[in-house]
Chain A
Amino acid sequence: MFLEQLINGVTLGSIYAIVALGYTLVFGVLDIINMAHGEIFMFGAFVGMLIVSKAGAPLPVAFLGAVVVTAAMGLLLERFALRPLRGRPGASHLASLISTIGVSILLENIAHKIFGSGNHLFETSFAEIRFEVGPVTIYLVQVVILLISLLLMTGLALWLARTRAGKALRATAENLETAGLLGVDTNRMITATVVIASAMGGVAGVLVGMAFNYINNQIGLSMGLKGLAIIIFGGMGSVYGAMAGGLILGLSETFVVAYGSSGYRDAIAFVAIIVILLIKPQGLFGQAHAEARR
Protein backbone atom coordinates (compact mmCIF):
# COMPACT_ATOMS: atom_id res chain seq x y z
CA MET A 1 0.00 0.00 0.00
CA PHE A 2 2.68 2.48 1.02
CA LEU A 3 4.82 1.62 -2.00
CA GLU A 4 1.87 1.97 -4.36
CA GLN A 5 1.08 5.41 -2.94
CA LEU A 6 4.72 6.34 -3.25
CA ILE A 7 4.64 5.43 -6.93
CA ASN A 8 1.38 7.34 -7.40
CA GLY A 9 2.87 10.36 -5.68
CA VAL A 10 6.07 10.35 -7.70
CA THR A 11 4.09 9.98 -10.92
CA LEU A 12 1.84 12.92 -10.11
CA GLY A 13 4.78 14.91 -8.79
CA SER A 14 6.83 14.46 -11.92
CA ILE A 15 3.95 15.85 -14.01
CA TYR A 16 3.70 18.84 -11.68
CA ALA A 17 7.45 19.30 -11.99
CA ILE A 18 7.24 19.48 -15.78
CA VAL A 19 4.44 22.03 -15.66
CA ALA A 20 6.42 24.07 -13.13
CA LEU A 21 9.56 23.91 -15.30
CA GLY A 22 7.63 25.68 -18.03
CA TYR A 23 6.88 28.56 -15.66
CA THR A 24 10.36 28.70 -14.19
CA LEU A 25 12.19 28.84 -17.54
CA VAL A 26 10.13 31.79 -18.72
CA PHE A 27 10.37 33.52 -15.36
CA GLY A 28 14.15 33.09 -15.52
CA VAL A 29 14.57 35.08 -18.73
CA LEU A 30 11.63 37.51 -18.56
CA ASP A 31 11.00 38.00 -14.84
CA ILE A 32 7.30 37.48 -15.36
CA ILE A 33 4.91 34.62 -14.78
CA ASN A 34 3.52 33.38 -18.07
CA MET A 35 -0.15 33.21 -17.11
CA ALA A 36 -0.98 31.59 -20.44
CA HIS A 37 1.18 28.54 -19.68
CA GLY A 38 -1.66 26.60 -18.04
CA GLU A 39 -3.86 27.09 -21.11
CA ILE A 40 -1.07 26.09 -23.48
CA PHE A 41 -0.68 22.96 -21.36
CA MET A 42 -4.43 22.35 -21.74
CA PHE A 43 -4.17 22.60 -25.52
CA GLY A 44 -1.38 20.02 -25.37
CA ALA A 45 -3.76 17.72 -23.53
CA PHE A 46 -6.55 18.29 -26.09
CA VAL A 47 -4.29 17.74 -29.08
CA GLY A 48 -3.08 14.51 -27.46
CA MET A 49 -6.69 13.48 -26.79
CA LEU A 50 -7.71 14.11 -30.41
CA ILE A 51 -4.80 12.07 -31.70
CA VAL A 52 -5.13 9.15 -29.28
CA SER A 53 -8.87 8.88 -28.62
CA LYS A 54 -10.43 10.29 -31.78
CA ALA A 55 -7.87 9.31 -34.43
CA GLY A 56 -6.73 6.17 -32.62
CA ALA A 57 -3.09 6.90 -33.39
CA PRO A 58 -0.29 5.60 -31.13
CA LEU A 59 0.97 7.59 -28.15
CA PRO A 60 4.27 8.85 -29.63
CA VAL A 61 2.24 10.59 -32.35
CA ALA A 62 0.19 12.28 -29.61
CA PHE A 63 3.37 13.60 -27.97
CA LEU A 64 4.73 14.79 -31.29
CA GLY A 65 1.46 16.51 -32.20
CA ALA A 66 1.12 18.16 -28.78
CA VAL A 67 4.73 19.39 -28.87
CA VAL A 68 4.36 20.85 -32.37
CA VAL A 69 1.10 22.65 -31.56
CA THR A 70 2.19 24.02 -28.18
CA ALA A 71 5.63 25.06 -29.45
CA ALA A 72 3.89 27.01 -32.22
CA MET A 73 1.61 28.59 -29.61
CA GLY A 74 4.69 29.57 -27.60
CA LEU A 75 6.20 31.18 -30.69
CA LEU A 76 3.02 33.16 -31.39
CA LEU A 77 2.71 34.15 -27.73
CA GLU A 78 6.23 35.58 -27.72
CA ARG A 79 5.91 37.34 -31.08
CA PHE A 80 2.54 38.95 -30.56
CA ALA A 81 1.96 39.20 -26.80
CA LEU A 82 5.43 39.64 -25.29
CA ARG A 83 7.92 41.09 -27.77
CA PRO A 84 5.89 44.17 -28.76
CA LEU A 85 5.88 45.24 -25.10
CA ARG A 86 9.56 44.57 -24.41
CA GLY A 87 11.99 47.44 -24.06
CA ARG A 88 9.35 50.06 -24.84
CA PRO A 89 10.24 53.25 -22.99
CA GLY A 90 7.91 53.72 -20.06
CA ALA A 91 6.36 50.26 -20.31
CA SER A 92 6.53 48.34 -17.05
CA HIS A 93 7.71 44.78 -17.53
CA LEU A 94 4.49 43.82 -15.77
CA ALA A 95 2.66 44.91 -18.92
CA SER A 96 3.66 41.60 -20.47
CA LEU A 97 2.26 39.78 -17.43
CA ILE A 98 -1.14 41.35 -18.12
CA SER A 99 -0.83 40.46 -21.78
CA THR A 100 -0.26 36.78 -20.91
CA ILE A 101 -3.41 36.89 -18.76
CA GLY A 102 -5.26 38.14 -21.84
CA VAL A 103 -3.88 35.28 -23.91
CA SER A 104 -4.89 32.77 -21.24
CA ILE A 105 -8.50 34.02 -21.25
CA LEU A 106 -8.55 33.92 -25.04
CA LEU A 107 -7.20 30.35 -25.15
CA GLU A 108 -9.60 29.11 -22.50
CA ASN A 109 -12.54 30.48 -24.45
CA ILE A 110 -11.29 29.04 -27.72
CA ALA A 111 -11.05 25.65 -26.00
CA HIS A 112 -14.55 26.09 -24.64
CA LYS A 113 -15.86 26.94 -28.11
CA ILE A 114 -14.18 23.95 -29.76
CA PHE A 115 -14.39 21.27 -27.09
CA GLY A 116 -17.23 22.42 -24.83
CA SER A 117 -17.05 22.41 -21.06
CA GLY A 118 -17.53 18.70 -20.40
CA ASN A 119 -15.01 15.99 -19.76
CA HIS A 120 -13.35 14.21 -22.66
CA LEU A 121 -12.10 10.66 -22.33
CA PHE A 122 -8.40 10.23 -22.88
CA GLU A 123 -8.11 6.57 -23.81
CA THR A 124 -4.75 4.94 -24.19
CA SER A 125 -4.61 1.40 -25.45
CA PHE A 126 -2.62 0.23 -22.46
CA ALA A 127 -4.50 2.05 -19.69
CA GLU A 128 -5.39 -1.20 -17.95
CA ILE A 129 -2.07 -3.01 -18.35
CA ARG A 130 -0.51 -3.58 -14.94
CA PHE A 131 2.05 -5.76 -13.25
CA GLU A 132 2.03 -7.33 -9.83
CA VAL A 133 5.43 -7.01 -8.19
CA GLY A 134 4.91 -8.92 -4.95
CA PRO A 135 2.02 -7.13 -3.22
CA VAL A 136 2.47 -3.95 -5.27
CA THR A 137 0.42 -3.18 -8.37
CA ILE A 138 2.10 -0.98 -10.93
CA TYR A 139 0.35 0.40 -14.00
CA LEU A 140 2.28 0.57 -17.25
CA VAL A 141 0.98 4.14 -17.70
CA GLN A 142 2.77 5.18 -14.53
CA VAL A 143 6.03 3.70 -15.73
CA VAL A 144 5.71 5.51 -19.06
CA ILE A 145 4.89 8.83 -17.35
CA LEU A 146 7.84 8.47 -15.00
CA LEU A 147 10.25 7.55 -17.77
CA ILE A 148 9.18 10.44 -19.98
CA SER A 149 9.35 13.00 -17.16
CA LEU A 150 12.71 11.76 -15.94
CA LEU A 151 14.06 11.87 -19.47
CA LEU A 152 12.75 15.38 -19.97
CA MET A 153 14.11 16.65 -16.66
CA THR A 154 17.59 15.12 -17.01
CA GLY A 155 17.69 16.22 -20.62
CA LEU A 156 16.87 19.80 -19.65
CA ALA A 157 19.32 19.82 -16.72
CA LEU A 158 22.15 18.47 -18.88
CA TRP A 159 21.32 20.85 -21.70
CA LEU A 160 21.45 23.85 -19.35
CA ALA A 161 24.65 22.67 -17.65
CA ARG A 162 26.71 21.45 -20.59
CA THR A 163 25.73 22.93 -23.94
CA ARG A 164 26.61 26.25 -25.50
CA ALA A 165 22.96 27.16 -25.99
CA GLY A 166 22.07 26.06 -22.46
CA LYS A 167 24.77 28.27 -20.99
CA ALA A 168 23.64 31.16 -23.15
CA LEU A 169 20.13 30.69 -21.77
CA ARG A 170 21.44 30.81 -18.20
CA ALA A 171 23.46 33.93 -18.99
CA THR A 172 20.35 35.53 -20.52
CA ALA A 173 18.32 34.57 -17.46
CA GLU A 174 20.85 36.10 -15.10
CA ASN A 175 21.44 39.35 -16.96
CA LEU A 176 19.99 40.33 -20.31
CA GLU A 177 22.42 43.18 -20.98
CA THR A 178 25.52 41.19 -20.06
CA ALA A 179 24.44 38.25 -22.23
CA GLY A 180 23.99 40.64 -25.14
CA LEU A 181 27.44 42.17 -24.61
CA LEU A 182 28.91 38.66 -24.67
CA GLY A 183 27.39 38.03 -28.07
CA VAL A 184 24.12 36.26 -27.23
CA ASP A 185 21.17 37.26 -29.42
CA THR A 186 18.92 37.72 -26.41
CA ASN A 187 15.71 38.18 -28.40
CA ARG A 188 16.25 34.82 -30.07
CA MET A 189 17.12 33.27 -26.72
CA ILE A 190 13.90 34.56 -25.17
CA THR A 191 11.85 33.20 -28.07
CA ALA A 192 13.60 29.83 -27.78
CA THR A 193 12.88 29.76 -24.04
CA VAL A 194 9.17 30.48 -24.43
CA VAL A 195 8.94 27.86 -27.20
CA ILE A 196 10.75 25.20 -25.14
CA ALA A 197 8.68 25.99 -22.05
CA SER A 198 5.44 25.76 -24.04
CA ALA A 199 6.46 22.46 -25.63
CA MET A 200 7.15 21.09 -22.16
CA GLY A 201 3.66 22.21 -21.22
CA GLY A 202 2.38 20.25 -24.21
CA VAL A 203 4.15 17.10 -23.05
CA ALA A 204 2.75 17.60 -19.56
CA GLY A 205 -0.74 17.92 -21.04
CA VAL A 206 -0.51 14.50 -22.69
CA LEU A 207 0.92 13.04 -19.47
CA VAL A 208 -2.03 14.40 -17.48
CA GLY A 209 -4.44 12.89 -19.99
CA MET A 210 -2.71 9.54 -19.58
CA ALA A 211 -2.68 9.78 -15.78
CA PHE A 212 -6.30 10.85 -15.22
CA ASN A 213 -7.99 9.35 -18.32
CA TYR A 214 -10.10 12.45 -18.86
CA ILE A 215 -9.53 16.13 -19.56
CA ASN A 216 -11.63 19.30 -19.76
CA ASN A 217 -11.12 22.97 -20.47
CA GLN A 218 -10.60 23.77 -16.77
CA ILE A 219 -7.42 21.74 -16.25
CA GLY A 220 -5.27 24.66 -17.40
CA LEU A 221 -6.43 26.78 -14.49
CA SER A 222 -6.03 24.18 -11.73
CA MET A 223 -2.72 22.89 -13.04
CA GLY A 224 -1.54 26.44 -13.61
CA LEU A 225 -2.19 27.41 -9.98
CA LYS A 226 -0.27 24.38 -8.79
CA GLY A 227 2.60 25.16 -11.12
CA LEU A 228 2.71 28.70 -9.71
CA ALA A 229 2.69 27.44 -6.14
CA ILE A 230 5.52 25.07 -6.98
CA ILE A 231 7.85 27.67 -8.44
CA ILE A 232 7.28 30.04 -5.53
CA PHE A 233 7.94 27.12 -3.22
CA GLY A 234 10.98 25.86 -5.13
CA GLY A 235 12.49 29.30 -5.62
CA MET A 236 11.60 31.62 -8.50
CA GLY A 237 13.54 30.80 -11.64
CA SER A 238 15.23 27.75 -10.14
CA VAL A 239 15.13 24.66 -12.35
CA TYR A 240 15.99 22.24 -9.56
CA GLY A 241 13.51 24.01 -7.27
CA ALA A 242 10.73 23.34 -9.79
CA MET A 243 11.68 19.66 -9.96
CA ALA A 244 11.92 19.19 -6.19
CA GLY A 245 8.82 21.32 -5.54
CA GLY A 246 6.76 19.31 -8.03
CA LEU A 247 7.74 16.01 -6.45
CA ILE A 248 7.02 17.27 -2.92
CA LEU A 249 3.57 18.59 -3.89
CA GLY A 250 2.70 15.38 -5.76
CA LEU A 251 3.80 13.17 -2.88
CA SER A 252 2.10 15.20 -0.16
CA GLU A 253 -1.18 15.32 -2.11
CA THR A 254 -1.13 11.59 -2.71
CA PHE A 255 -0.39 10.71 0.89
CA VAL A 256 -3.03 13.09 2.22
CA VAL A 257 -5.61 11.35 0.04
CA ALA A 258 -4.36 7.88 0.95
CA TYR A 259 -4.04 8.29 4.70
CA GLY A 260 -6.25 11.26 5.44
CA SER A 261 -9.20 12.64 3.60
CA SER A 262 -9.43 13.47 -0.09
CA GLY A 263 -11.35 16.62 0.80
CA TYR A 264 -8.24 18.09 2.37
CA ARG A 265 -5.98 17.18 -0.51
CA ASP A 266 -5.24 20.67 -1.81
CA ALA A 267 -5.54 22.32 1.59
CA ILE A 268 -2.84 20.24 3.23
CA ALA A 269 -0.52 20.44 0.27
CA PHE A 270 -0.74 24.22 0.26
CA VAL A 271 -0.42 24.45 4.04
CA ALA A 272 2.82 22.49 3.70
CA ILE A 273 4.02 25.02 1.12
CA ILE A 274 3.10 27.97 3.35
CA VAL A 275 4.95 26.45 6.31
CA ILE A 276 8.10 25.87 4.28
CA LEU A 277 7.93 29.41 2.87
CA LEU A 278 7.63 30.82 6.39
CA ILE A 279 10.86 29.04 7.29
CA LYS A 280 12.64 29.77 4.00
CA PRO A 281 10.96 32.75 2.32
CA GLN A 282 13.12 32.66 -0.82
CA GLY A 283 11.95 29.12 -1.58
CA LEU A 284 13.85 25.84 -1.48
CA PHE A 285 16.46 26.73 -4.11
CA GLY A 286 15.92 30.48 -4.26
CA GLN A 287 18.64 33.12 -4.24
CA ALA A 288 19.19 34.39 -0.71
CA HIS A 289 19.42 38.06 -1.69
CA ALA A 290 17.46 40.15 -4.11
CA GLU A 291 20.51 41.62 -5.84
CA ALA A 292 21.41 38.18 -7.17
CA ARG A 293 18.64 38.72 -9.67
CA ARG A 294 19.30 41.35 -12.32
Chain B
Amino acid sequence: MLEVRGVDTYYGNIRALKEVSIDVPGGSVVAIIGANGAGKSTLMKTIAGALPQRSGTVSFLGEMITGLASHEIVRRGVALVPEGRSILSRMTVRENLEMGAFTRRDGKKTARDMDRVMERFPVLKQRAGQLGGSLSGGEQQMLAIARALMSAPKLLLLDEPTLGLAPLVVADIFAIIREVNAAGTTLLLVEQNVKQAMKVSSYTYVMETGKIVLSGPSRELLQEPRIKASYLGKA
Protein backbone atom coordinates (compact mmCIF):
# COMPACT_ATOMS: atom_id res chain seq x y z
CA MET B 1 0.00 0.00 0.00
CA LEU B 2 2.75 2.42 1.01
CA GLU B 3 6.21 2.03 -0.49
CA VAL B 4 9.08 4.24 0.62
CA ARG B 5 12.24 3.81 -1.46
CA GLY B 6 15.65 5.25 -0.70
CA VAL B 7 14.40 8.44 0.90
CA ASP B 8 16.86 11.13 2.06
CA THR B 9 15.58 14.06 4.10
CA TYR B 10 17.72 16.96 5.27
CA TYR B 11 17.34 19.60 7.94
CA GLY B 12 19.52 22.29 6.44
CA ASN B 13 22.80 20.41 5.90
CA ILE B 14 22.05 17.66 8.39
CA ARG B 15 21.05 14.42 6.75
CA ALA B 16 18.24 13.16 8.98
CA LEU B 17 17.16 10.21 6.80
CA LYS B 18 19.66 8.06 4.90
CA GLU B 19 18.17 6.01 2.08
CA VAL B 20 15.23 4.77 4.10
CA SER B 21 13.02 2.14 2.48
CA ILE B 22 9.93 0.65 4.10
CA ASP B 23 6.79 -1.16 2.99
CA VAL B 24 3.39 -1.00 4.62
CA PRO B 25 1.06 -3.66 3.20
CA GLY B 26 -2.67 -2.89 3.10
CA GLY B 27 -4.61 -3.92 6.21
CA SER B 28 -1.53 -4.32 8.40
CA VAL B 29 -0.06 -2.56 11.41
CA VAL B 30 3.63 -1.75 10.95
CA ALA B 31 5.78 -0.42 13.78
CA ILE B 32 8.90 1.75 13.68
CA ILE B 33 11.02 1.74 16.81
CA GLY B 34 14.30 3.35 17.74
CA ALA B 35 15.93 5.81 20.10
CA ASN B 36 15.26 9.54 20.24
CA GLY B 37 16.75 11.31 17.25
CA ALA B 38 16.84 8.19 15.10
CA GLY B 39 14.71 9.92 12.45
CA LYS B 40 11.36 8.26 13.10
CA SER B 41 9.33 11.47 13.23
CA THR B 42 11.27 12.84 10.25
CA LEU B 43 10.24 9.76 8.27
CA MET B 44 6.58 10.19 9.27
CA LYS B 45 6.58 13.88 8.33
CA THR B 46 8.31 13.13 5.05
CA ILE B 47 5.65 10.54 4.16
CA ALA B 48 2.88 13.00 5.06
CA GLY B 49 4.44 15.76 2.95
CA ALA B 50 5.22 18.07 5.86
CA LEU B 51 8.97 17.83 5.14
CA PRO B 52 10.52 17.83 1.67
CA GLN B 53 12.75 14.89 0.77
CA ARG B 54 15.89 15.38 -1.25
CA SER B 55 15.90 12.05 -3.03
CA GLY B 56 14.03 8.76 -3.16
CA THR B 57 10.36 8.06 -3.82
CA VAL B 58 7.16 7.52 -1.88
CA SER B 59 4.22 5.80 -3.50
CA PHE B 60 0.78 5.17 -2.09
CA LEU B 61 -1.69 2.73 -3.67
CA GLY B 62 0.58 2.53 -6.70
CA GLU B 63 0.60 6.30 -7.22
CA MET B 64 3.70 8.46 -6.70
CA ILE B 65 3.14 10.97 -3.93
CA THR B 66 6.77 12.11 -3.78
CA GLY B 67 7.01 15.86 -3.31
CA LEU B 68 3.27 16.51 -3.00
CA ALA B 69 2.16 19.09 -0.42
CA SER B 70 0.63 17.69 2.76
CA HIS B 71 -2.91 18.80 1.89
CA GLU B 72 -2.72 16.81 -1.34
CA ILE B 73 -1.51 13.71 0.47
CA VAL B 74 -4.36 13.85 3.04
CA ARG B 75 -6.76 14.00 0.12
CA ARG B 76 -5.40 10.67 -1.11
CA GLY B 77 -6.16 9.03 2.23
CA VAL B 78 -3.03 9.35 4.37
CA ALA B 79 -3.55 11.02 7.76
CA LEU B 80 -0.74 11.87 10.18
CA VAL B 81 -1.21 12.34 13.92
CA PRO B 82 2.03 14.19 14.60
CA GLU B 83 4.13 13.87 17.71
CA GLY B 84 2.94 16.37 20.30
CA ARG B 85 -0.61 16.02 18.97
CA SER B 86 -0.88 19.58 17.58
CA ILE B 87 -4.43 20.19 18.69
CA LEU B 88 -5.89 23.49 17.50
CA SER B 89 -6.04 24.97 20.96
CA ARG B 90 -8.11 28.04 20.07
CA MET B 91 -10.81 25.99 18.38
CA THR B 92 -13.42 23.86 20.11
CA VAL B 93 -13.23 20.07 20.27
CA ARG B 94 -16.08 19.86 17.75
CA GLU B 95 -14.33 22.32 15.41
CA ASN B 96 -11.14 20.27 15.65
CA LEU B 97 -13.09 17.20 14.56
CA GLU B 98 -14.76 19.17 11.76
CA MET B 99 -11.32 20.26 10.56
CA GLY B 100 -10.36 16.58 10.50
CA ALA B 101 -13.08 16.09 7.89
CA PHE B 102 -11.96 19.17 5.93
CA THR B 103 -11.08 17.21 2.80
CA ARG B 104 -14.41 15.37 2.67
CA ARG B 105 -17.41 16.45 0.65
CA ASP B 106 -19.78 13.62 1.65
CA GLY B 107 -21.84 15.54 4.22
CA LYS B 108 -24.08 12.69 5.35
CA LYS B 109 -21.30 10.16 5.83
CA THR B 110 -19.21 12.77 7.62
CA ALA B 111 -22.08 13.51 10.01
CA ARG B 112 -22.44 9.79 10.68
CA ASP B 113 -18.71 9.47 11.35
CA MET B 114 -18.92 12.44 13.71
CA ASP B 115 -21.64 10.64 15.69
CA ARG B 116 -19.57 7.47 15.71
CA VAL B 117 -16.46 9.25 16.92
CA MET B 118 -18.43 10.98 19.69
CA GLU B 119 -19.85 7.57 20.64
CA ARG B 120 -16.40 5.97 20.73
CA PHE B 121 -14.78 8.85 22.63
CA PRO B 122 -17.40 9.89 25.22
CA VAL B 123 -14.96 12.37 26.77
CA LEU B 124 -14.88 14.31 23.48
CA LYS B 125 -18.67 14.37 23.36
CA GLN B 126 -18.73 15.74 26.90
CA ARG B 127 -16.26 18.45 26.00
CA ALA B 128 -17.42 19.13 22.45
CA GLY B 129 -17.89 22.85 23.10
CA GLN B 130 -14.66 23.39 25.03
CA LEU B 131 -11.47 24.78 23.51
CA GLY B 132 -8.97 22.13 22.43
CA GLY B 133 -6.29 23.76 24.55
CA SER B 134 -8.28 23.14 27.73
CA LEU B 135 -8.09 19.33 27.43
CA SER B 136 -5.65 17.15 29.38
CA GLY B 137 -2.79 15.41 27.57
CA GLY B 138 -4.63 12.11 27.27
CA GLU B 139 -7.79 13.81 26.05
CA GLN B 140 -5.78 15.78 23.49
CA GLN B 141 -4.26 12.55 22.17
CA MET B 142 -7.74 11.03 21.87
CA LEU B 143 -8.86 14.17 20.04
CA ALA B 144 -5.85 14.04 17.72
CA ILE B 145 -6.56 10.41 16.79
CA ALA B 146 -10.31 11.03 16.47
CA ARG B 147 -9.60 14.08 14.28
CA ALA B 148 -7.38 12.04 11.96
CA LEU B 149 -10.07 9.34 11.77
CA MET B 150 -12.59 11.99 10.68
CA SER B 151 -10.72 12.20 7.37
CA ALA B 152 -11.64 8.51 6.83
CA PRO B 153 -8.01 7.63 6.10
CA LYS B 154 -6.88 4.49 4.32
CA LEU B 155 -3.51 4.79 6.05
CA LEU B 156 -3.14 6.30 9.52
CA LEU B 157 0.32 7.45 10.63
CA LEU B 158 0.62 7.63 14.43
CA ASP B 159 3.74 9.34 15.79
CA GLU B 160 4.39 8.54 19.46
CA PRO B 161 0.70 8.38 20.43
CA THR B 162 1.40 7.28 24.02
CA LEU B 163 4.25 9.69 24.81
CA GLY B 164 3.91 11.07 28.32
CA LEU B 165 0.54 9.49 29.03
CA ALA B 166 -0.62 7.55 32.11
CA PRO B 167 -0.57 3.72 31.87
CA LEU B 168 -4.36 3.42 31.77
CA VAL B 169 -4.56 5.87 28.88
CA VAL B 170 -1.74 4.03 27.11
CA ALA B 171 -3.73 0.78 27.31
CA ASP B 172 -6.76 2.61 25.94
CA ILE B 173 -4.76 3.95 23.00
CA PHE B 174 -3.45 0.49 22.08
CA ALA B 175 -7.04 -0.79 22.26
CA ILE B 176 -8.05 1.97 19.84
CA ILE B 177 -5.18 1.05 17.50
CA ARG B 178 -6.47 -2.55 17.37
CA GLU B 179 -10.05 -1.38 16.77
CA VAL B 180 -9.11 1.03 14.01
CA ASN B 181 -7.08 -1.70 12.29
CA ALA B 182 -9.88 -4.25 12.71
CA ALA B 183 -12.21 -1.75 11.02
CA GLY B 184 -9.99 -1.88 7.93
CA THR B 185 -7.53 1.02 8.32
CA THR B 186 -3.83 0.36 7.76
CA LEU B 187 -1.52 1.79 10.43
CA LEU B 188 2.09 2.89 10.58
CA LEU B 189 3.07 3.39 14.20
CA VAL B 190 6.10 5.09 15.72
CA GLU B 191 6.46 4.15 19.39
CA GLN B 192 8.80 4.33 22.36
CA ASN B 193 6.69 1.69 24.02
CA VAL B 194 8.53 -1.02 22.11
CA LYS B 195 6.97 -4.14 23.59
CA GLN B 196 3.37 -3.04 23.08
CA ALA B 197 4.13 -1.67 19.63
CA MET B 198 5.65 -4.97 18.54
CA LYS B 199 2.74 -6.92 19.95
CA VAL B 200 0.16 -4.89 18.06
CA SER B 201 2.12 -4.88 14.79
CA SER B 202 2.84 -7.60 12.27
CA TYR B 203 6.12 -6.12 11.03
CA THR B 204 8.72 -3.92 12.72
CA TYR B 205 11.46 -1.62 11.47
CA VAL B 206 14.28 -0.52 13.78
CA MET B 207 15.85 2.88 13.10
CA GLU B 208 19.20 4.20 14.28
CA THR B 209 20.79 7.52 13.23
CA GLY B 210 18.57 7.99 10.21
CA LYS B 211 18.87 4.43 8.85
CA ILE B 212 16.82 1.26 9.02
CA VAL B 213 19.21 -1.12 10.79
CA LEU B 214 16.93 -4.09 11.32
CA SER B 215 13.53 -5.25 10.20
CA GLY B 216 11.38 -8.34 10.24
CA PRO B 217 8.10 -9.84 11.36
CA SER B 218 7.41 -8.44 14.85
CA ARG B 219 6.99 -11.88 16.41
CA GLU B 220 10.46 -12.93 15.25
CA LEU B 221 12.12 -9.65 16.18
CA LEU B 222 10.76 -9.95 19.71
CA GLN B 223 13.06 -12.96 20.10
CA GLU B 224 16.05 -11.21 18.55
CA PRO B 225 18.84 -10.79 21.14
CA ARG B 226 19.81 -7.33 19.91
CA ILE B 227 16.22 -6.12 20.31
CA LYS B 228 15.93 -7.71 23.71
CA ALA B 229 19.11 -6.08 24.91
CA SER B 230 18.58 -2.60 23.47
CA TYR B 231 14.84 -2.07 23.60
CA LEU B 232 13.18 -4.53 25.93
CA GLY B 233 15.61 -4.18 28.81
CA LYS B 234 16.46 -7.88 29.02
CA ALA B 235 19.98 -9.26 28.74
Contact = CB atoms under 8 A, between A and B. Distances in A.
A185 B69 CA distance: 8
B133 A182 contact: no
A88 B71 CA distance: 19
B146 interface: no
B220 to A, nearest CB: 33
B71 A185 contact: yes
A184 B147 CA distance: 14
Given A170-B90, A184-B71, A177 B99 contact: no
A174 B50 contact: no
Contacts of A175: 86, 88
Interface residues of B, number: 26
Q: Which of B48, B71, B89 has the most CB of A within 10 A?
A: B71
B82 interface: yes
B82 A183 contact: no
Contacts of A184: 71, 99, 102
Nearest to A164: B102
A178 B86 contact: yes
A89 B12 contact: yes
Contacts of B79: 181
Interface string B77-102: 00110100010111100010011101
A178 B88 contact: yes
B12 A174 contact: no
Interface in A164-201: 164, 167-168, 170-171, 174-175, 177-187
A182 B98 CA distance: 10
A22 B193 CA distance: 47
B91 A182 contact: no
B69 A180 contact: yes
Given A171-B91, A177-B86, A292-B133, A182 B99 contact: yes
Contacts of B91: 167, 170-171, 174
A63 B88 CA distance: 36
A187 to B, nearest CB: 8
B75 interface: yes
A187 B71 CA distance: 10
Contact of B103 (A90, A177, A183): A183
Contacts of A292: 89-90, 133
A182 B12 contact: no
A186 B71 CA distance: 8
A287 B69 CA distance: 30
Interface of B: 12, 48-50, 69-71, 74-75, 79-80, 82, 86, 88-91, 95, 98-100, 102-103, 133, 147, 151
Given A174-B91, A183-B71, A186-B71, 18 more contacts: A167-B95, A168-B102, A170-B88, A170-B90, A170-B91, A171-B99, A174-B90, A178-B86, A180-B70, A180-B71, A181-B70, A181-B71, A181-B80, A181-B86, A182-B151, A184-B71, A185-B69, A287-B90
14 contacts: A168-B102, A170-B90, A175-B86, A177-B70, A177-B82, A177-B86, A178-B86, A180-B49, A181-B50, A182-B99, A182-B147, A183-B103, A183-B151, A292-B90
